[in-house]
Amino acid sequence: MSIVTISRGSYSRGKEVAEKLARALNYECISREIILEASEHFNIPELKLVRAIHDAPTILDRFTSGKERFVAFFRAALLTHLQRDNVVFHGLAGHFFLQGISHVLKIRISGDLENRVREEMKREGISADEARMVLVNDDAERRKWGMQLFGQDTWNPLLYDMVLHIGTMGVNDAVSIILHTLDQPCFKSTANSRKRLDDAALAARVEAALVKDFPKVMADAGNGEVFVSVRGSLVDEKIITARVERLAEKVDGIQSLQVNIVPFVVED
């Protein structure tokens, strides 16, 4: 009973690893499905969601917090789906959302650039230089996305339990290593780790419900108690609290709700 998230670059063969692993474990293998679920549940175009979790935010996004909204929807959909357990998720952002949950094995799969270039050339019918440029730009864009939204480099190994490089190591070797790792007791789901995931999923759903009105909302949940921090003037405390309570009403699983107004953040 575990969850595996695989973060990968284009043509790093991470998808293959994920699919083979899911088959070996008899787990559900998901990726784009989460985008579809989020798109359906929150009634937003799929294309916007795809861009939100791929492209780095523009200057305008920084003010309108557009990307953060879509990321909140995606996160809520992903965490809610993962509550089912026995899932292999491959794609972006999973490792950012699942830090601190012990039964989630977070893996980064990288591949040799030249191998990736060959794959890209084959699939897109372009020259080696063009393919290399596409891949380098794509990698840079994803790293920028991570840095701007989460303040972390996607390539930072500290975000993962395991980093596997597909080169000398083949796809089957990688699957075998992951299977062996999953056998370790530390990656088995426990009541405590499942509760942490449940709390994180509830917090994510509350954030998704509020993010349109309060772009910088932060929710923290535990045992059904939800603490929401939204920025605003303390002068409007009552109005903001009432609005938050009204918007959070539709989220299931909230037993009590505390609203904290953050009037300022001054960095050192």
List residues near another protein by CB under 8 A: 62-65, 96-97, 99-100, 150-152, 158-159, 203, 207, 214-216, 218-220, 231-236, 263-268
Minimal distance, residue 109 CB to another protein, in Å: 20
Burial 131-153 (b: 16+ CB within 10 A, else e): bbebbeebbeebbebbeebeeee
Helices (H) and strands (E) counted in the chain, each on its own, are 11, 8
Minimal distance, residue 63 CB to another protein, in Å: 5
Minimal distance, residue 51 CB to another protein, in Å: 19
Minimal distance, residue 147 CB to another protein, in Å: 9
Q: Toward another protein, which CB reaches closer, 11 or 145?
A: 145
Residue 186, number of CB atoms within 10 A of its CB:
10
**Amino acid letter, residue 2:** S
Q: Toward another protein, which CB reaches closer, 86 or 152?
A: 152
Minimal distance, residue 152 CB to another protein, in Å: 6
Element (H, E) at 30: strand 28-30
Q: Toward another protein, which CB reaches closer, 174 or 257?
A: 257
Q: Toward another protein, which CB reaches closer, 151 or 185?
A: 151
Q: Toward another protein, which CB reaches closer, 158 or 191?
A: 158
The SS3 of residue 26 is coil
Q: Across the beta sheet with 218-222, what order do the strands follow?
A: 218-222, 225-231, 256-262
